[in-house]
Amino acid sequence: MISKESQDTFCVFLKSHILLAMKKPKEAIENLMSANNNGLLQNEGYVVFLLRAAVSQKISYDFVRDNLLNHIDTNTASEFTLLHLSEYYTTLTKMVDAEKVL
């Protein structure tokens, strides 16, 4: 039997895949960010992917903050994740936030 969380995660990825097929990458990334799956947010590669995609798709800072940044625990995040988080802030010229992360 598949757990409820696994089904929800599958649905999020399926919807994002459909959005990508429809040539809507920004909506696909926003869909992934809004999932707030704690298990996925523990995966540093997934978080870095979302941060890079947010920059490349020009997703608003407020959306990224509410759906991703507020869910990243900077006390337990890896150096790799923190480096990319600070890079994300730097691209938005939020230098004060970037310095706090480092």
Task: State pLDDT tens for residues 28-50.
Answer: 999 999 887 777 888 889 999 99
> Does residue 88 or residue 15 have the better pLDDT?
15
In angstroms, how far is the first alpha carbon of the chain from the final one?
43
Please list, residue by residue across 1-23, b when 16 or more beta carbons sit within 10 angstroms of its beta carbon and e when fewer do.
eeeeeeeeeeebeeebeebeeee
Global pTM? 0.81
pLDDT of 9-34, one tens digit each?
A: 889 899 999 999 999 999 999 999 98
Q: How far apart are CA 74 and CA 60, in angstroms?
A: 21
